[in-house]
Amino acid sequence: MALVTPDTKLCEVIVDEPSVVPVINRFDIVLGVGDRTIKSICKEKGIDTSFFITILNAFINESFFLENVTGAFNAGDVVDYLRKTNNSYLRNQLPNIERHFAALISRSDSNNNLPLLFNFYREVKTEIERRIDSDNQWFDAIISAEQSNSEVSVAGNAVQAESDSIEDKLSDLINMFVIHLRGDYDRNLCHAVLFAVISLEKDICQNNRIRNRVLRPLVDALNSRNS
């Protein structure tokens, strides 16, 4: 879709790209937004409009790049958003998938390969948790550097928009469901697990864009100023 502006109606963004619902939730915006503009909603919520539309545009548009690294918001604002994102993974999305996966196995016949897929999911979950632990160190270093006008002392994960092992493994898991699933199973629960994994993979992919195309340029600018 076209780039979001302050005068764009948020309802139009949500209808065109429903995957932004978790994003607006991280700004404490819930469904039932009416037909108000983003500028109006941000003013009511006390949200920096420039920052909000930057996050939305980076999340929605694959071609988005941050043009002005000396704008109204700083790296700490992006860190706060990404912390909320990681917390959402840990507290909601990952446990939800695991819970439904376990229920799927328990309510399905034993003549399937679901346990193998579940073990692979757990491996991916562990990798996500390790990355979040690494993120926390990097995020703390960014906040410290902003407060002390120094360079960031911890390098961030080498996650590139074109290739990310977690994205790749989640994509592999989706393909396992689509191509290699065998035996009898509860179809409704299977669909719930599959759609939840697809949603997680898309969310991680889109938030990697925010990491690479919004946060990293701000960190690079911070290091340049303080070197």
Per-residue pLDDT tens over the stretch 86-105: 999 999 999 999 999 999 99
Please give the biggest Cα pair distance in the chain: 62
DSSP state, 94? H
Q: What is the pTM of this model?
A: 0.88
Residue 69: what pLDDT?
A: 63
Residue 226: what pLDDT?
A: 76
Q: For residue 3, which of 47, 46, 48, 67 has the smallest C-alpha distance?
A: 67
In the chain, which stretches have pLDDT less than 50?
159-163
Per-residue pLDDT tens over the stretch 22-60: 999 999 999 999 999 999 999 999 999 999 999 999 999
Residue 45: what pLDDT?
A: 96
- 114-134 b/e (C-beta count within 10 Å ≥ 16 → b): beebbeebeebbeebeebbee
